[in-house]
Amino acid sequence: MPIPVRRRNSSKRAVKSDDGDSSLAAASASSLHCSIDDESLYVNLPNKTETIDDHVSGQPQAQPKGKSAGSMFRRGLSKSAVQLLSQDDQILSEILDVNVGSHEVNDSLEVNELEESIMNVNLSEERSREIGLVGNVNTSENYIEKIGDLQKQLAEKEEEMKHQRILFQKQIKLQQQKEQEYQDKIKSLEDELKSLKQDTIDIDATEQIHPNIDQEIVENARQNSLSPDSIARYSRQLLLSEGWGVKGQQKLLSSSVLVIGAGGIGSTVLLYLASSGIGNITVVDFDNVDMSNLHRQVIHTNDRVGMNKAESACLAMKKLNPTINCKTVTEMLTFENAMTLVQQHDCVVDACDNPQTRYLVNDACVLNHKPLISGSAMGVEGQLTVYGYKNSACYRCLYPKVNPTEGAKSCSDNGVLGPVPGLIGILQAIETLKVLTETGSTMHDRLLMYDSLRCSFMCIKKGKRRSNCAVCSPDPSIRNMEASKSVSSVARGPQQCGIIATSKIPQEWNKTCHEYYKVVKEGEKHLLLDVRVKRQYDLCSLKDSVNIELGNLNNHLDEIKTLSENGALPIFCLCRRGIASMEATKMLKEVIPWMKIYNIKGGLNAWKEEIDPSFPMY
């Protein structure tokens, strides 16, 4: 609404110049003279004075008939002044109608409206100054306060929208993962339905081809111990002699196998156990499929990256052989749940990658009198044997002393040639079939060692059970899993493959990736010491880093002193996960204690997660 105006007869006339001329043009060309009294704002014109009331009383003034206050107020002004005032009338009316207390911004459209309102108020003030108007002081303060409130609301809503956008993106990612899982399950069910429909079609076709044949007589005349599907599916191994055949297949169909690990070794073990007709398979793996797994863990696929490995493996097995039963355990195998899981199965396949799990699986199998088929692979070599079968030695008989540093390296540290764990897994599957069917000569009394570069297989004769073995001797010290835990927990376990170990050095020696980023950002001079092996360093590294392997630090102390300007520059030690760099920090602090030496917590993995998501992961 336009601002109310009233006309007053003024006794004032045009101001005369020194030479006595009275000129309306002279008064109009000068800036409008404004005076403020208690009620109104007066704009002096040559013949009449227009008044803008301070709408305190809220009562509109009577206007001459046929003429609005706005038109009377604008009489005598230039076209540009009249145009500016016309725009201001509308803008100020809109601003005065804004209810800041009840205004809520719900989306980006309302945020834009707030921004436009603030801009219009500022523009209105500028225009008012251009035409020489000075508003009521209290009203101006109200406008300023309203502008401040609008700006505050705008900032709060922008922050809220940013937070909601992040949450929305996370929800979308989770939804996509769930959708992929549902699609895989739907595909599996569709395959089963397709198979059932095909069986129905075959039956209907048989009845149509032989309409005069009494099916009951035919069925009574049929003698077979296996279903037609089993005979068709396993016919090639059913034709084998030496203990396989129908009886051997029946044993497999009724047996149950527990497989620990669905990684490189577990992949081929599971695929061949499923295709061979093991009736019940349980897969234990708490880890998720990663892109770096796919070159050797062939049971998983690219579209299942991020899925739990046990669930991914079960999907693959059901697609290969929908007639088997497959269960998944997506939690870690521990000293608390191992006994229950082992009790429920006929034999156990160890396809794990750490010594702690090997000890606990071995003890659970010995206490439950279950055979254990064990395999391992590292680099270009692999091993295979069978424990606890036909009174053979167990894992503790071969490795009685638990060494905290034993098996300290994994595939992610040393690397592995993809087909090597696959081959070991195939050999384990064969040993499992032989144990279940009691066929052939198993590896219970031998240890197989495979070298892929020389394509050599070497069998070593294993000794008998140790008379003083802690778990399988006549007088064992380990009679339950609590006792097993007390002596085995010091060995490297699955958790330690990915954790950040920072407890062995004082906390003040550690720096987070954000703290190191600040050093780089501010351009502080320092020495970044990358202690990874060269083949890892060649894959990816941070700019201006110096590569000296952890094992060679003592041989390069003089070089380190020179690079750090004899301790004047701080040294930041870096590796992939923050473990080797922690050892480097500790070592350097012992030999050159006066230097400022820090460990970057979490290493390059933490750098990727916290600072640079595009940094390569291996």
Top-confidence residue, 333 or 116: 333
d(CA 546, CA 554): 15
Neighbour-count burial for 307-330, b at 16+ CB within 10 Å, e otherwise = bbbbbbbbbbbbeebbebebebbe
pLDDT confidence bin for 115, thresholds 50/70/90:
low
Top-confidence residue, 19 or 276: 276
Top-confidence residue, 140 or 258: 258
Active-site entry in 314, 352, 411, 472: 411
Cβ neighbours for 610, distance < 8 A, ≥ 6 positions apart:
512, 513, 514, 602
pLDDT confidence bin for 109, thresholds 50/70/90:
low
Question: Does 89 have pLDDT greater than 80?
Answer: no
Highest mean pLDDT among 92-106, 192-206, 421-435: 421-435
Active-site entry in 314, 394, 472, 575: 575
Does the model's pTM come out above 0.75? no
d(CA 585, CA 465): 44
Give the mean pLDDT of 22-35. 38
d(CA 443, CA 428): 10
Three-class SS of residue 281? strand
Give the mean pLDDT of 264-282. 96
d(CA 290, CA 300): 9
Question: Does 503 have pLDDT greater than 70?
Answer: no
The amino acid at residue 365 is C
Q: By mean pLDDT, which of 45-49, 240-244, 434-438, 581-585 is the weakest? A: 45-49
d(CA 109, CA 64): 43
User: What pLDDT, on the 0 to 100 scale, is given for residue 299?
Assistant: 97
Which H or E run includes 248? helix 245-254
Is 575 one of the catalytic residues?
yes
Is 411 one of the catalytic residues?
yes
d(CA 412, CA 498): 10
Rounded to 5 degrees, what are φ and ψ at 486? -65, -30
Mean pLDDT, rounded, of the chain:
79
Q: By mean pLDDT, which of 176-180, 502-506, 546-550 is the weakest? A: 502-506
User: What pLDDT, on the 0 to 100 scale, is given for residue 351?
Assistant: 95
pLDDT confidence bin for 435, thresholds 50/70/90:
very high
Top-confidence residue, 461 or 90: 461
Largest pairwise CA distance in the chain: 139
Instruction: Note whether 62 and 40 are within 8 A (CB).
Output: no
Residue % of the chain over a pLDDT of 90: 50
pLDDT confidence bin for 154, thresholds 50/70/90:
confident
d(CA 257, CA 254): 10
Q: How many CA atoms lie within 13 A of 228 on its CB side?
A: 5
The amino acid at residue 488 is S
Give the mean pLDDT of 556-575. 93
d(CA 386, CA 376): 12
